[in-house]
Structure 1
Amino acid sequence: MRKILKIMLISISTIITVMVVFLATVYFVNLISNEREKGKIEDYGQKVMVDGKQMNVLIQGDGKETIVLLPGYGTASPVLDFKPLVKELSPYYRVVVIEPFGYGLSDDTDKVRTSQNYVDEIHECLQKLNIKKYTLMGHSISGIYGLEYVNQYEKEVQAFVGIDSSVPKQETDELPVSSLQLLNQSGLYRLLLKVNPDQLVMPKVDDQTKAQIKMLTFRNFLDESQGSEADNFRNNFKNAQRLHFPKKLSVVFYLADQTEKETPSWKPMHEDLLKNVDHGKVVTFKGGHYLHHTRSKEIAADFKGFLSKIEINR
């Protein structure tokens, strides 16, 4: 019996030692990788001082009309994520991609991520850029922030375009923020992506751009801004339920058929938001949630027709 117990203790000790060595190795590899990648992340866009911090913005194209692009939650680099859509829109419009605090190359912030704070910061950024009239085009969670935005700055916003955008009455899940942050800090998140790189959703871009997105993912993953944003999901969605799109604002929603299959109420909830507006429509494209990765040409083509009708009706 003593011999068996001794063997068991040795086995348990060996297993614990192996696990400790494994976790320590993963941790230090991640630490070293993060330091190395700091010097490899390439700069793009321009910096705008907003609320005492630097917000990164890319402006491309010199068309008469301006489109402001806002990202979905957790997007590592909005500028690189929107690259296919910017390519399709910039020959005809001035396209402005804003990277909110905690995203892309923008500074992080400890300011609570309420919709109001988010809207205030985006508006200040546009004011600093002297952009007074524009179409707001947002993906996913930007549907909530956009709804708040257009109600406060109706006279500035020419139209709102939602790319499979969130709606106030959809179900919202709570993210285990602390656990996910620990996963990243421990290096296990980097290891998981190494084992299964397809977990990282990216547009069809060149390998160099993919590498940049990957490095920015590790840098920004659930930083202070994104952690606070996740903690405020429910309150922001709940507060948005009091809002409607202004009657004279033109609105178009581009929805993904895969999302509609997963959530049967997806299209009806968007149609419900259009009941109050004079000029609004819903268009469904085949594809997943990231339509701007796969349907940029179709979105740009339909938007051109949509915007031309707005100009005719002015």
Structure 2
Amino acid sequence: MKVKLKDEEMKMRMSKMLNFILKAIGVLVIAIGLFLAIVFIVNIISNKSEQGKIQSYGQLVPVDGKNMNVFIQGKGEETVVLLPGYGTAAPALDFKPLVEELSPFYKVVVIEPFGYGLSDDTEKERSIENIVNEAHEALQSLKIDRYILMGHSIAGIYGLDYVNKYEDEVSAFVGIDSSVPTQGGTDVELPIETIKLLKRSGLARLLMKIAPDPFAKLTFDDETKEQMRILALKNMYNSSTLNEMKNFNTNFKAAENLTFPKNLPIIFFVQADDTETEGWIPLHEEQVKDSVHGKVMTFEGGHYLHHTRSKEMVENFRNFMEDIK
């Protein structure tokens, strides 16, 4: 009899414990669901609210049936065209320190590719061919047919293709810690579907909000920083930049057999202490070894050298161009 009572007690205790666990799981699921719903709704409301806070800059030019934003400053006889690195939310604002240093001497044109800054998004494949052709079409729309091409990061890949296609238009190429076709790590498979989910759910916004402020240490004024934050939230992981990410390896491979034209003046401003890419400086030295006018200069600083080294870069660039005349 005692044994039976003990068994029944154990069953009752197990049943109560199971009910408690199931209730706890239920509460947890509801809490997670409620949390995700709040994040999703806040993201939608924030997107609409921030849309009205965006301040326009530059001008829209027709490219492939869409609008591409282009910012122009300076009235120099020579033109410098700036191309951004991957994922730069607002290129015209991001390049501001460099534009300020260049514009007293050159006409400076900042191109914001589709999906960047104030340009339209696009569903068109982000192949190296399309990206280069669209940038060229923007310049054609502005009737600019002779210029120095200056590119940051992945623009080193697009720029390499560009100068081979439009060699008669480009008078020099300047790389700002620019990518090299043979650098390692371009074949890593990226979790694009997961990134899409983060974007749609609003979790990407949340993660960005709780992460350290990437603009805090920049020397930009507060208004510019705020615009950069808003445009970063607007443009992150849009269809254009996600497709560009998907095409990283393909685009790097497409440029593998390309070299800079021998007679094209080339100067690279390279991060001196890059620890992520093996042989970063030698990779750039290899690119200019056969150039009649080729130079590699290193600077202490981060990947966005133009945030902190614009003055020195412009001084050295102007001296370089003067020396080869």
**Is it true that 1:280 corresponds to 2:294 in the alignment?**
yes
Residue 224 of structure 1: aligned partner: 239
Deviating more after overlay: 242-251 vs 169-178: 169-178
Residue 233 of structure 1: aligned partner: 248
Alignment partner of 1:14 out of 9, 23, 27: 27
Matches within 5 A, 1:92-111: 92-111=105-124
Deviation, 1:41, is 0.6
**Take 1:194 and 1:117, find their aligned partners in 2: how far apart are those partners?**
33
| 3-state SS in 1 of match to 2:273 | helix
One-letter amino acid of the counterpart of residue 229, structure 1: E
**Take 1:139 and 1:175, find their aligned partners in 2: how far apart are those partners?**
22
Residue 270 of structure 1: aligned partner: 284
| 3-state SS in 2 of match to 1:238 | helix
| Deviations 1:220-266, CA, capped at 9 Å, x for gaps | 1121111111111111101101100001100011001232x333311
Q: Mind listing any 5+ residue stretches in structure 2 that lack a counterpart?
A: 1-13
Contact 1:77 1:105 in 2 (8 A): yes
Residue 89 of structure 1: aligned partner: 102
Alignment partner of 2:157 out of 144, 165, 178: 144
**Take 1:175 and 1:84, find their aligned partners in 2: how far apart are those partners?**
32
| Deviations 1:18-39, CA, capped at 9 Å, x for gaps | 1111111111011100011111
**Take 2:190 and 2:290, find their aligned partners in 1: how far apart are those partners?**
33
Deviation, 1:199, is 4.5
- What is the percentage of aligned positions where both structures have the same residue? 57
| 3-state SS in 1 of match to 2:286 | helix
Q: Which runs of 4+ in 1 moved over 6 A?
A: none
| 3-state SS in 1 of match to 2:270 | strand
One-letter amino acid of the counterpart of residue 57, structure 1: V
**Take 1:224 and 1:89, find their aligned partners in 2: how far apart are those partners?**
32
| Deviations 1:139-167, CA, capped at 9 Å, x for gaps | 00000000000001111101000000000
**Is it true that 1:47 corresponds to 2:49 in the alignment?**
no
Residue 200 of structure 2: aligned partner: 185
Deviation, 1:174, is 3.3
Alignment partner of 1:124 out of 137, 140, 165: 137
| 3-state SS in 2 of match to 1:198 | coil
Contact 2:183 2:277 in 1 (8 A): no
Question: Normalization by structure 2: what TM-score?
Answer: 0.93
**Take 1:98 and 1:47, find their aligned partners in 2: how far apart are those partners?**
10
Residue 296 of structure 1: aligned partner: 310
**Take 2:276 and 2:205, find their aligned partners in 1: how far apart are those partners?**
29
| Deviations 1:248-289, CA, capped at 9 Å, x for gaps | 100011001232x33331111111111221000100000111
Question: Normalization by structure 1: what TM-score?
Answer: 0.96
**Take 2:215 and 2:41, find their aligned partners in 1: how far apart are those partners?**
22
